[in-house]
Amino acid sequence: MKILIADALSDKAMEILTSNGLQGDVKTGLKGEELQRIIGEYDALIVRSATKVTREVIEKGDNLKVIGRAGIGVDNVDVAAATEKGIVVMNTPQGNALAAAEHSIALMFAAARKIALADRTMKQGKWEKKMLMGIELYEKTLGVIGVGNIGSIVAEKALALGMKVIAYDPYVSKDFAESKGIKLVDFDTLLSQSDFIAIHVPLVKDTRNMINKDTIGKMKKGAILINVARGPIVNEKDLLEALEKGHIACAALDVFDQEPPPPDNPLVLSDKTVCTPHLGASTKEAQDKVAIDIANQIVDFFKNGVIKNSVNTPPISMEVARTISPYLKLAENLGAFVSTITDFPINEVEIQYIGNVANTDTKILTQATLKGILGKQLEAVNYVNAPIMAKARGIKIKETTSGDHEDYLSLLVITVRGQQGQNTVQGTIFGKKEPRIVKVNNVYLEAGMSEHMLLVYNYDKPGVIAGIGNVFFLRGLNIARMHFGRESQGGLAISLLDLDQEVDDAVIREVQSLPNVILAKRIDLI
C-alpha cells in the first residue's frame, strides 16, 4: 500500500508506516493540479491543514481508500465527495486540544498586557511604559463560546487563574457546565457580560460570520476578543471597525479569513491586535501526537480493517454499512434536523425504533443519530465518539424498540428534551432507500430530505405560501418542492421547502417578516 504525506508531519508518522510494511512518500507544497496528477498512484493520503483535498483531487484518486487529517478540523477536505466515492475520511480529534487551549490562554495574556506592541516598540528603541498600561485577568469574566474539547480546557485554565467563566453552548447541559465550574448563559448574556471572549466552535454554516456588527455591538465596551478557532467565524471588516472606534479594546487572532492573510491586511497591521500565523496546534508535543495518531489509524485501517475516528463512515464493515446505509442516512439527517430546530440545551435524547428498523444494528443507528445532533455545533464528531461526547455533556440517551407500526414498515422517532421544552421528529424509508420525514412535533407531513431546506413555522392562514414564493421569485431563487402540514385548520402549520441552493440570512429574515410567519429556519443536511 502506498501512502502520500502531503503536508509537513513529524518523522514519527513515517517511522510507524514503514515499520508496518507500508510505503510512504513525503511530497509537500503540492498545488491542486500537481496533486491531481499523482494522487491516482496512492491508496491513502495524509494531510494537515495546508493541502486542499478538493472534489477534483478526490475524483482523480482511483486507488484512494482513506484520507487522514492529522488534526481536528476537516474543512480542507471535501468530505461529501469522499463519501460519494466510498473513501474513508479520518481525523485525530484529541491530539492538539491542549496545545490550542494553551495558545488561547497565551493570546489572552498577550492582549491584556499588550505584549506584542511592547516588544515591537522596544525593538524600535522606544520606552512606551505609560502607553502600555494593561489589565489583570484575575476576577475578570471570560466568556467561552463552545465548551468542547478545547473550550473546556480553556475554561479550566481560566478558573485556575481566578477568572469567572461563563459559556454559551447549546449542546451542553446546565448540570454539566456547573460541574466544571462554568456558568451557562445565553449568547446575548455572554456578549454583554464578558471582559474577554474566547471562540472555540467549529466553522459550520451556523457559526460562519457569528461575530459580526450586530453581535459585536452587544459586547461590553473595552472587551477583548480571542479567536483560535476558524477565521470566517469573525467578520473581519466589522471587527476592524469596532477596534478603530474603541468598542473592542483588542483582538487576539490566530486564524483569518484568508490564510496567509494579505500583507496589507489592516487587522494584522493594527496596534490593537495580536496576531499569530495559525499556531494553535503548533507545538512539538501536539505535532508528534497527531502524527502518531493518524499513522496508527492508517496502519489499523490497512492491516486490521479497523476504522477509527472516521467522520463519514461508521465503525463497521462496508458490507454491513451497505445493508443499513438507508437507515444510517435517515438517522443522521433526522438528528441534524431536530438539532437545527432546537434552540435550547439538550439534556436527553430518546430514540424509538419501530418495525423492521428495530431488527437492525440499532447501536450504530444511535451513533449516527447522535452524530447528526452534535455535529451541527461541535467539531470532530464521528460515529465512535458521538456517544462519549454526549455523555460528557450530561446528555442522557434512551433507546426503545417495538414491533410493527400500523402505518409504516419502519419508523424512527427522535425526541430531544431540555429544561425549556422538547422537539420530536419522525422518519421512515420509502421504497428501499429513500428517507422521508413524516412528522415534526405534532404536525404530520411527508417530505424528502435534501441538502438545502427551509423550515417555516406559520399560522394556517391564506397568503403565507404566496408570500414565501414571492420572496424567492424576487431574488431569482428556485424552490424544488414544497411540503405542508398543519395541526388544525387555522392553527400552527409547517411549510418545508426543498431548495436548489443555500439561502443567505437576508432571505431568512425576509421570510420571517411575512404576515403569519412565526419562525424560519435554514436546514442543511448530508
Q: Which pLDDT score, from 0 to 100, does residue 380 have?
A: 66
Taking only the tens place, the pLDDT of each residue in 213-244 is: 999 999 999 999 999 999 999 999 999 999 99
Q: What residues form DSSP beta bridges with 519?
A: 457
CB atoms within 10 A of CB 122: 12
Q: How many of the other CB atoms lie within 10 Å of CB of 121?
A: 17
The pLDDT tens digits of the residues spanning 101-116 come to 999 999 999 999 999 9
- On the question of pLDDT at 178 being above 80, the answer is yes
| pTM (whole model) above 0.75 | no
Q: Quote the crossing angle between the two packed helices 505-512 and 464-474, to the nearest 10°.
A: 150
Q: Contact, 209 vs 232, CB < 8 A?
A: yes
Q: Which residue segments constitute the domains of the chain, with CATH numbers given? A: 1-94+283-311 (3.40.50.720), 97-275 (3.40.50.720), 314-436 (3.30.1330.90), 442-526 (3.30.70.260)
CA-nearest of 198, 207, 216, 225 to 171 is 207
pLDDT digits (tens, 9 = 90+) for 297-344: 999 999 887 788 888 876 665 556 666 778 888 999 999 999 999 988
The pLDDT, as a whole number, for residue 387 is: 84
**CA-to-CA distance for 350 and 33, rounded, in angstroms?**
47
Helix/strand/coil percentages in the chain, nearest 5: 35, 25, 40
Alpha carbons 231 and 173: distance in angstroms, whole number:
27
Burial of 296 (0-12, 13-18, 19+ CB in 10 A): middle
Ordered DSSP codes for 13-60: HHHHHHHTT-EEEE--S--HHHHHHHGGG-SEEEE-SSS-B-HHHHHH
DSSP β-bridge partners for residue 524: 452
Percent of the chain past pLDDT 70, that is, above it, reads 97
Per-chain mean pLDDT for the chain: 91
> Which residues, listed in sequence order, are joined to residue 498 by a DSSP beta bridge?
453, 481
Predicted confidence (pLDDT) at residue 375 exceeds the cutoff of 90: no
Q: What is the average per-residue pLDDT within 351-375? A: 89
DSSP 288: H
- Which residues, 6+ apart, have CB-to-CB distance to 316 below 8 Å? 307, 361, 364
- Per-residue pLDDT tens for 282-298? 899 999 999 999 999 99
Higher pLDDT, 322 or 8: 8
| Cis amide linkage into residue 260, ω under 30° from 0 | yes
Distance (Å, rounded) from C-alpha 181 to C-alpha 200? 18
* Residues across the chain: 526
Q: Could you identify the residue written with the cell 478538493?
A: 54
Element containing residue 367 per DSSP (H, E): helix 362-374
Instruction: Output the pLDDT for position 433.
Output: 78
| Per-residue confidence (pLDDT) for residue 317, from 0 to 100 | 56
- How far apart CA 67 and CA 52 sit, in angstroms, is 12
Three cell numbers, residue 168: 454559551
Cβ atoms of 211 and 255 closer than 8 Å: no
Q: What does R_g of the chain's alpha carbons equal in angstroms? A: 24
Please report the pLDDT score of residue 83 as a whole number: 79
Which whole-number Å values give the CA distances from 501 to 435, 452, 476, 479, in the listed order? 20, 6, 11, 9
Distances (CA, A) of 141 to 167, 193, 446: 10, 7, 48
Q: What are phi and psi of 290, to 5 degrees?
A: -70, -35
Matching residue, cell 476578543: 225
Amino acid making up residue 46? I
What is the C-alpha to C-alpha distance for residues 245 and 252, in angstroms, rounded to an integer? 17
Q: Judge contact between 298 and 92, C-beta under 8 A.
A: no
Residues known to be catalytic: 230, 259, 278
pLDDT single digits (tens) 154-167? 999 999 999 999 99
**pLDDT tens column, 435-457:** 899 999 999 998 888 888 999 99
- DSSP state, 211? B
Query: Which of the 8 DSSP states describes residue 308?
Result: -
380 contacts: CB under 8 Å, gap ≥ 6: 72, 73, 91, 93, 148, 149, 202, 311
CA distance 84 to 108: 42
Mean pLDDT of 142-150: 92
| pLDDT at residue 84 tops 80 | no
Residue with cell 477568572: 163
CB 102 within 8 A of CB 280: no
